Amino acid sequence: MNNSYDNKNIFSKILRSEIDCEKILENEHALAFLDINPQAPIHILIIPKNKYIDFYDFTQNGSAQEIKYFWELVNDVIKNKNISDSGFRLITNSGKDGNQDVPHFHVHLLGGKNLGRMIN
């Protein structure tokens, strides 16, 4: 885990139950909950339960079990929301240039309508 992790970020507070969230699913290593500012009919955030700043930190420092359980939860949410056939988008932002707002690794799962092209 990264030593420069900010324990005051909102996802850290959610994991400590200091802030409520509308939980969708969770497992031993990850949590999925509704985004408070949805950008699509389905907009769910999936986060690891340990302290990882971004995708690179997670993939470099997460255990094989943490990484496996994280992506299994992503798939479980896709199945739970019944969007595997209609389609969805997974987004993760990393660092300043990636416009990452919360310094805790997370993916946005968006679906429930045609999301249009991301880049023209």
Q: What is the pTM of this model?
A: 0.93
Q: What is the structure's pLDDT at 118? A: 79
Question: Measuring CA to CA, which residue among 7, 18, 50, 59 is closest to residue 31?
Answer: 50
Which entry of 29, 104, 106, 108 is annotated as an active-site residue?
A: 106
Domain layout of the chain by residue ranges = 10-111
Do residues 105 and 48 make contact, with C-beta atoms less than 8 angstroms apart?
Answer: yes
Q: Can you give the pLDDT of all 120 residues of the chain as single tens digits? A: 556 899 999 999 999 999 999 999 999 999 999 999 999 999 999 999 999 999 999 999 999 999 999 999 999 999 999 999 999 999 999 999 999 999 999 999 999 999 998 776
Fold (topology level) of 10-111:
HIT family, subunit A (3.30.428)
**Could you tell me which of 96, 113, 100, 99 has the C-alpha nearest to residue 39?**
113
Cα 6 to Cα 58, 72, 95, distances in angstroms:
15, 26, 14
Quote the tokens at residue 68. Answer: 């496996």
CA angle 100, 104, 110 (to 5 degrees): 65
- Nearest Cα neighbor of 9 from 18, 117, 42, 71 is 18
106 in active site:
yes
